[in-house]
Amino acid sequence: MKPVSKLDVERYFTGELTGAEADQIERAMDSRPELKEYYQELQGDKNVFLAKHPYRDFVKGNQRKASSPLVRVLQWFSVPRPVWVAVPLVLVLGIAYFFQQHPHVLPDKNPGIRYKSPVALDFLVRRNGEVQPGNTDHVYRAGDAVQFLYTANSFKYISLLSVDQSGKLSFYSPQSAASLPAKPGGGQPFPHSVELDAAPGGELFIALFTQASLSRKDAAKILGLPSAESRGDIQRIQKHLQAGLPEETQAATLYLKKEK
Amino acid sequence: MENNESASGELNVGEVYKKYASVVYGRCLKILWSEDEAWDATQDVFMKLHQSQSTLQKSGSVLYWLHRTTTNHCISVLRRKRGVAYQEEAHAGNDSANPERALAAKQMLQKLFGPWNKVVREIIVYTYIDGYTQAEISKLTGLGESTIRKYLTKFRRKAQELRGGLEAS
């Protein structure tokens, strides 16, 4: 039997391998963390890519490429003149009037709470194979895969944790450490997506940004909990984070609503 | 391939896009080092896919076909960007941490690509950009491992000569 390579993982990832071949890849990923990591990286890249360039963008792009600039201009001017002047004008005036009357409905572009910016936490959600930008007003359900995107700026490590309504603390890092090395630049995908479980109610996701790697115990302490096994109250943790953070530490949180 | 086909047997480009586009884009980005160019190249590759359904069906693996087409497409994009374009990219390039390094690597790659035919260029990319083994390159290209070894030996010899020439100058 030939050793499993990254190319094989790519074929497995794109669904080209089934049956015994797929089983072989799954076994190889269990025993070789670098292959598992590569698979998770492919999954993360896919989520980010499809959110940024959905299929409709590809279709639009090709339509643009297929028609010359002259054709495009002619297509535009082939619409009767009163329509192409009036429609955008009515739309713009209508939207402006609506927001003037209802200022409270203006969308908050990044609903995640940030403590001492400039770090940030955002997310995408994959449901039934479709990837959508995350929205903290939506109610998510068990099985939804959440891909977190972080902006760590000059911080070297990120620790991702969550607390559910029952107070259970979860870490999204391998073994006993809480931290993973953070990549520079905005909107970096967390190395793997998080599948929401069936625990009812909302869940608070917390990203801690630090200059040194944190143990799970250290991370729990920052949330005001005595140990990594302790149960925590969401409101109390939020208040604790707002009250202050240790030096060279920043945090960003997202509260995701889940079906009850 | 069955999962990517519609009831009429035609390739369902939408399905293929959802499954493979991120892999193609990642590959383009690795070779071209520019997000805009990588997105353009991804669209071009999927246009080719739409136009080449008959050859694709013969090749069996959509992934292998896309890897080869993407690699060759990106190499031709790189080759088209000789001279002045490189100077511009040194200032606007994606490797913002070290634009000189990005420029030097691109120029070196360009010089190294120069004297070789399409197959060898493809092998160079798989070996030095992707880090694929000769067995993997053999799977992708259909060439024997001994042929790949022969091409790589010739290429390394030429690269040594080039390095010697650069050091002397």
Residue A43 C-alpha, separation from nearest chain B C-alpha, in angstroms: 9
- CA distances B61 to A41, A76, A98, B65, Å, are 22, 41, 53, 6
Predicted confidence at residue B91, as pLDDT, reads 40
Q: Which residues of A touch B47 (CB under 8 A)?
A: 62, 65
| Phi-psi category of residue A131: left, alpha or beta, with phi > 0 → left and psi -120 to 50 → alpha | beta
Q: Which amino acid is at B66?
A: L
Q: Which amino acid is at A76?
A: W
**Rounded Cα gap, residues B20 and A208, in angstroms:** 33
pLDDT at A108 over 80: no
Q: Which residues of B touch A129 (CB under 8 A)?
A: 18
Give me the residues paired with residue A132 across strands: A125
Q: Which of B18, B23, B39 sits opposite A42 (nearest CB)?
A: B23
Q: Which residues of B touch A16 (CB under 8 A)?
A: 61-63
Chain B residue at shortest CA distance from A60: B43
pLDDT at B98 over 60: no
pLDDT at A18 over 80: yes
Task: Work out the angle at residue A29's Cα, subtended by the Cα atoms of residues A24 and A35, and round it to the nearest 5 degrees.
Answer: 120
Distance from chain centroid for Cα B24: 10
pLDDT at A105 over 80: no
**Rounded Cα gap, residues A101 and A27, in angstroms:** 60
Q: Report residue A15 as tokens.
A: 């669904």
Predicted confidence at residue B71, as pLDDT, reads 92
User: Residues 137-156, chain B: which have Cβ within 8 Å of A?
Assistant: 139-140
Predicted confidence at residue B92, as pLDDT, reads 43
Contact status of B21 with chain A (Cβ, < 8 Å): yes
- CA distances B73 to A93, B17, B41, B79, B98, Å, are 46, 17, 7, 10, 26
> SS3 for chain A, per residue?
CCCCCHHHHHHHHCCCCCHHHHHHHHHHHHHCHHHHHHHHHHHHHHHHHHHHCCHHHHHHHHHHHHCCHHHHHHHHHCCCHHHHHHHHHHHHHHHHHHHHHCHHHCCCCCCCEEECCCCEEEEEEEECCEEEECCCCCEECCCCEEEEEEECCCCCEEEEEEEECCCCEEECCCCCECEEECCCCCCEECCCCEECCCCCCCEEEEEEEECCCCEHHHHHHHCCCCCCCCCCCHHHHHHHHHHCCCCCEEEEEEEEEECC
pLDDT digits (tens, 9 = 90+) for A154-182: 888 999 999 988 888 998 886 678 888 88
Q: Which amino acid is at B54?
A: S
Taking residues A135-158, what's their average pLDDT? 86
Residue where the block lists tokens 């607390």: A163
Which has the minimum average pLDDT: A41-50, B51-60, B143-152? B51-60
- From the number of C-beta atoms within 10 Å of its C-beta (0-12, 13-18, 19+), residue A251 rates as buried
For residues B146-164, b (16+ Cβ closer than 10 Å) or e, as one string?
Answer: eebeebbeebeebeeeeee
Taking residues B79-95, what's their average pLDDT? 48
pTM of the model: 0.51
Chain-chain contact of B22 with A45 (C-beta, under 8 angstroms): yes
Confidence of residue A63 (pLDDT cuts 50, 70, 90): low
Confidence of residue B86 (pLDDT cuts 50, 70, 90): very low
Closest CA to A151 of A182, A120, A181: A120
Predicted confidence at residue A162, as pLDDT, reads 92
Percent of chain A with pLDDT over 70: 79
Q: Which residues contact A113 (CB under 8 A, 6 or more apart)?
A: A238, A252, A253, A254
pLDDT at A79 over 50: no
Predicted confidence at residue A30, as pLDDT, reads 92
Contact status of A63 with chain B (Cβ, < 8 Å): no
Q: Which residues of A touch B63 (CB under 8 A)?
A: 7, 10-11, 14, 16
A204 vs B158, higher pLDDT: A204
Chain-chain contact of A55 with B14 (C-beta, under 8 angstroms): yes
Confidence of residue A76 (pLDDT cuts 50, 70, 90): very low
Chain-chain contact of A65 with B43 (C-beta, under 8 angstroms): yes
Q: Which residues contact B5 (CB under 8 A, 6 or more apart)?
A: B11, B12
Contact status of A58 with chain B (Cβ, < 8 Å): yes
Confidence of residue A75 (pLDDT cuts 50, 70, 90): very low
Closest CA to A162 of A127, A188, A196, A136: A196
Confidence of residue B114 (pLDDT cuts 50, 70, 90): low
Residue B47 C-alpha, separation from nearest chain A C-alpha, in angstroms: 8
Q: How many CB atoms lie within 10 A of CB A188?
A: 17
Confidence of residue B148 (pLDDT cuts 50, 70, 90): very high
Predicted confidence at residue B9, as pLDDT, reads 57
Q: Which of B46, B61, B62 sits opposite A58 (nearest CB)?
A: B46
**Rounded Cα gap, residues B54 and A236, in angstroms:** 62
Closest CA to A27 of A39, A15, A42, A45: A39
Predicted confidence at residue B147, as pLDDT, reads 93
Confidence of residue B99 (pLDDT cuts 50, 70, 90): low
Confidence of residue B48 (pLDDT cuts 50, 70, 90): confident
pLDDT at A47 over 80: yes
Q: Is B5 helix (H, G, I), strand (E, B) or coil?
A: strand
Percent of chain A with pLDDT over 90: 18
Predicted confidence at residue B24, as pLDDT, reads 95
Predicted confidence at residue A129, as pLDDT, reads 72
Predicted confidence at residue B90, as pLDDT, reads 42
Predicted confidence at residue B167, as pLDDT, reads 58
Chain-chain contact of B25 with A55 (C-beta, under 8 angstroms): no
pLDDT at A13 over 90: yes
Predicted confidence at residue A65, as pLDDT, reads 57
pLDDT at A203 over 60: yes
Taking residues A109-116, what's their average pLDDT? 46
Q: Report residue B132 as tokens.
A: 């694929």
Q: How many CB atoms lie within 10 A of CB A97?
A: 10
pLDDT at B89 over 50: no
Q: Which residues of B touch A42 (CB under 8 A)?
A: 22-23
pLDDT at A123 over 90: no
Closest CA to A27 of A61, A59, A51, A4: A4
* φ/ψ (deg, to 5) at A258: -130, 155
pLDDT at A202 over 70: yes
Distance from chain centroid for Cα B14: 23
Q: Which amino acid is at A204?
A: L
Q: Average model confidence (pLDDT) for chain B?
A: 76
Q: Which residues of B touch A128 (CB under 8 A)?
A: none
